[in-house]
Amino acid sequence: MIDLHTHSTFSDGTETPTELVATARAAGVTVLALTDHDTTAGWDEAAAAVSSSGITLVRGAEFSTESPDGRGGTVTAHLLGYLFDPAAPDVVAEQERIREARRARVWEMGARIGADHPGIDGDSLLARLPADSPAGRPHIGQALVELDVVASVTDAFEHILRKDGPYYVEKYNTPIATAIAMIDAAGGVAVFAHPFARKRGPTVDASVLADLAGRGLAGIEVDHPDHAADDRATLRDVAAATGLLATGSSDYHGTNKTTGIAVETTAREQYDALVARATGVGVLA
């Protein structure tokens, strides 16, 4: 089983890369991609963990971007980058910039939430996290669980952290064409993550994916827990019509989400084609 999208404690997952590899192994995963948000800091631990585990590791990251929506506006979008050179100066600089924007935004959301929920504030939220980490809403959710404001991180998203709620603050996101070019220049492979995850907010139209296919985008995540059946069919058609690779993945976050590892997977030939495109770093076994 090939799972090309998972998170560790280096971003908003609840398992260390070592624990994540053990979870993957127990579930029968043979190829695992680590794709923490806006950082490659977990790569070394994951590399050590897969050695002699029987699992092949695809090193990657999930980049925070904004995309044209195809209707004259813009939407936030997640872009998976695989097997890129982690030392490429543009990648390093942009990921740092995003992590800083993430922390400023968590601080601001903490201040807003704290006005209604004593015990939460920006400084104490950030004090819980390593200095250079990609702080996100799941971290706020964990704090809200610990303070007994909500029962689970999922509940926190529903009641407090949702995009259309009173506490939400947007952050700086990289224009998606810039991010694709950056990943490409670093020898990586860019795949549009969960393009039709509609419960998270407005998404792109299919026309945008076709357009990005002409600008270096290599693939789209077709099978994802947040995708409805009809949307998967549309995405499969887009991939067939444009030559984009079609991937499937769990977007596993440990206990921060209810999704199990490898509940969605990628077909072997799509994975092989993805790896064949990369010139940044190789897969590790």
Cβ-closest position to Fe ion:
78
Q: Find the shortest distance in angstroms from Cβ 175 to ligand AMP.
A: 17
Is 36 a binding residue for Fe ion by CB under 5 A? The answer is: no
Segment interacting with Fe ion, rule: CB under 5 A, options 11-19, 165-173, 177-185, 266-274: 11-19
Exposed / middle / buried, residue 118 (Cβ in 10 Å: 0-12, 13-18, 19+)? exposed
Q: Of 95, 99, 29, give the one whose Cα is nearest residue 60.
A: 95
Segment interacting with ligand AMP, rule: CB under 6 A, options 67-75, 92-100, 151-159, 228-236: 151-159
Q: How many CB atoms lie within 10 A of CB 275?
A: 15
The separation between CA 281 and the C-alpha centre of its own chain, rounded to angstroms, equals 19
Q: Find the shortest distance in angstroms from Cβ 173 to Zn ion.
A: 14
- State which of residues 80, 83, 143, 153 lies at the interface with ligand AMP (CB under 6 A): 153
Q: Find the shortest distance in angstroms from Cβ 209 to ligand AMP.
A: 20
Is 45 a binding residue for Fe ion by CB under 5 A? The answer is: no
Tokens, residue 66: 């904004």
Is 253 a binding residue for ligand AMP by CB under 6 A? The answer is: yes
Is 264 a binding residue for Zn ion by CB under 5 A? The answer is: no
Q: How far apart are CA 102 and CA 106, in angstroms?
A: 6
Main-chain dihedrals φ then ψ at residue 60, nearest 5 degrees: -155, -175
Q: How far apart are CA 236 and CA 281, in angstroms?
A: 28
Tokens, residue 193: 């993550």
- State which of residues 59, 78, 99, 137 lies at the interface with Fe ion (CB under 5 A): 78
By beta-carbon proximity to ligand AMP, the closer residue of 63 and 213 is 63
CB 160 within 8 A of CB 139: no
Q: How far apart are CA 3 and CA 29, in angstroms?
A: 7
Residues 20-39 as x/- pattern, contact with ligand AMP by CB under 6 A: --------------------
By beta-carbon proximity to ligand AMP, the closer residue of 68 and 138 is 138
Q: How far apart are CA 109 and CA 203, in angstroms?
A: 23
By beta-carbon proximity to Zn ion, the closer residue of 85 and 251 is 251
Is 42 a binding residue for ligand AMP by CB under 6 A? The answer is: no
Q: How many CB atoms lie within 10 A of CB 26?
A: 9
Is 85 a binding residue for ligand AMP by CB under 6 A? The answer is: no
Is 137 a binding residue for ligand AMP by CB under 6 A? The answer is: yes
Tokens, residue 50: 């897969």
HSE of 227, CA atoms in CB hemisphere, 13 A:
24
CB 112 within 8 A of CB 13: no
Is 184 a binding residue for Fe ion by CB under 5 A? The answer is: no
Is 66 a binding residue for ligand AMP by CB under 6 A? The answer is: no
Is 274 a binding residue for ligand AMP by CB under 6 A? The answer is: no
**Under the rule (CB under 5 A), what is the footprint of Zn ion?**
62, 251
**Under the rule (CB under 6 A), what is the footprint of ligand AMP?**
12, 136-138, 153-154, 157, 200, 253, 256-257
